[in-house]
């Protein structure tokens, strides 16, 4: 039973790492601001969930596991809000005439 949990957690950790990597590459490659926000939020939510679940599996039902769960919950709340706030302020800033270079190369 130990090995099974180990294998699953390793899969989650590697998967999470992969997702973050993809998000990073996406951040660099994408042309403008909004697509970049999309790529970044991918790394934020997807990657984070996979990594923390992997750690929870490693930690098992201990105090650390509970703490990890709390962190996961916190992340689930904040990262999407952050993505939204960034996009929203980019749009409103453009209306207010601030020189936001959205279409950078």
Partner 1 sequence: MIIVFSLFLLTMMVVVALAVVETRNLFAAAMLTGIFSFLMAANFFVLDAADVALTEAAVGAGVATVFFLGAIALSSEHEHSASRKFGLALLAVASTAVVILLGTMEFPILGDGSAPVHQHVAPWYLEKTPELIHVPNVVTAVLASFRGYDTLGEVFVVLTAAIGVLSLLGFPRNNSEENAVNDGLSHQKILHIVGKLLIPLIILFGLYVQFHGDFGPGGGFQAGTIIAAALILYALLSGGDRARRQMPPRLLFGMACLGAFIYAGVGGTTLLLGGNLLDYSVLSHDPVHGQHLGIMLIEFGVGLAVASVMLTIYHAFAGHEHR
For the residues of 56-102, what is the DSSP string, one character each? HHHH-SSHHHHHHHHHHHHHHHHHHHHHHHHHHHHHHHHHTT----T
When binding is defined by CB under 8 A, the residue of 18, 62, 88, 91 that contacts partner 1 is 88
How far is the C-alpha of 86 from the C-alpha of 78, rounded, in Å?
12
To partner 1, the closest distance from the beta carbon of 70 in angstroms equals: 9
Tokens 């969930």 found at: 49
Q: Which stretch binds partner 1 (CB under 8 A): 9-17, 36-44, 53-61, 84-92?
A: 84-92
To partner 1, the closest distance from the beta carbon of 84 in angstroms equals: 6
When binding is defined by CB under 8 A, the residue of 10, 84, 91, 93 that contacts partner 1 is 84
The candidate with the shortest Cα–Cα distance to 79, out of 54, 34, 48, 51, is 48
* Residue numbers 16-35 binding partner 1 by CB under 8 A: none
* Residue numbers 54-83 binding partner 1 by CB under 8 A: 74, 77-78, 81
- Residue 94, interface with partner 1 (CB under 8 A)? no
Cβ-proximal residues to 89 (8 Å cutoff; 6+ apart), any chain: none
Tokens 């909004």 found at: 34
Contact residues: partner 1, CB under 8 A:
74, 77-78, 81, 84-85, 88
């Amino acid at each position: 039973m130990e090995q099974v949990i180990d294998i699953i957690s390793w899969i989650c950790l590697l998967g999470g790492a992969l997702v973050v990597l993809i998000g990073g590459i996406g951040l660099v490659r994408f042309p403008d601001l909004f697509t970049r926000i999309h790529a970044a939020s991918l790394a934020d939510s997807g990657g984070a969930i996979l990594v923390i679940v992997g750690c929870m599996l490693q930690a098992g039902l201990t105090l650390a596991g509970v703490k990890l769960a709390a962190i996961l919950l916190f992340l689930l709340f904040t990262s999407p809000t952050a993505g939204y706030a960034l996009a929203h302020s980019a749009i409103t800033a453009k209306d207010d005439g601030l020189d936001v270079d959205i279409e950078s190369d």
